[in-house]
Amino acid sequence: MTMIEELVDVVAITDNSITLTSQVKSSCGSCAQVKSCASGQVAKAIPQRKLKLVLPYVKQQHEQLQVGDSVVLGLPEVNVLTSAGQVYLFPLVGLAVFSGLGEWLISQQLLPHELLGLSLGIFGGYLGYRLAKYYQNKSHQSAALQPRILRKLIANVAVNSNK
């Protein structure tokens, strides 16, 4: 199973949670179009900041971590893609299906005005949104999108050799 991984630093540990931070990275700013690109300008204007994440933590289930350690978080790629597909496609499919239904009802002269057909399409998009939200809030879906600590990075130990 392919995992999406991110390097994070441990900043706090309590009895049942661990607080991690990660540097927010922007891919903009290194290409030749950075001076004329709006995304590049926004990336330059907003200072690099840290993303904070609090995860449940059971000391017996993990390696003993300490504040200042670097760890690798992982999230199964298939779970992220499934979630993104639901969030983006359900509202679009609802919009398209209900818009088609509205158009058909207008052509059959069952709806007196095009605004009612348009409203039906918007309602379908909203239903798709609610369906996606329902699936995202299910407990097994939420648990599948919870990042997990994969491994602790071993700190580089500087060896001082006196020759």
pLDDT averaged over every residue in the chain: 83
The model's confidence at residue 160, banded by pLDDT at 50, 70 and 90, is low
Contact between 28 and 43 (Cβ < 8 Å): yes
Q: What is the token pair recorded at 138?
A: 């299910």
Helices (H), the chain: 38-45, 77-107, 114-137, 139-144
Q: Is residue 58 scored above 90 in pLDDT? A: no
CA–CA separation, 72 and 20 (whole Å): 10
Q: Is 62 exposed, middle or buried (0-12, 13-18, 19+ CB in 10 A)?
A: middle
Q: What is the token pair recorded at 37?
A: 């690109």
12: β partners: 19
CA–CA separation, 99 and 117 (whole Å): 7
53: three-class secondary structure by DSSP: strand
143: three-class secondary structure by DSSP: helix
Prediction pTM value:
0.66
Q: Is residue 18 scored above 60 in pLDDT? A: yes
The model's confidence at residue 162, banded by pLDDT at 50, 70 and 90, is low
Q: How many CB atoms lie within 10 A of CB 102?
A: 23
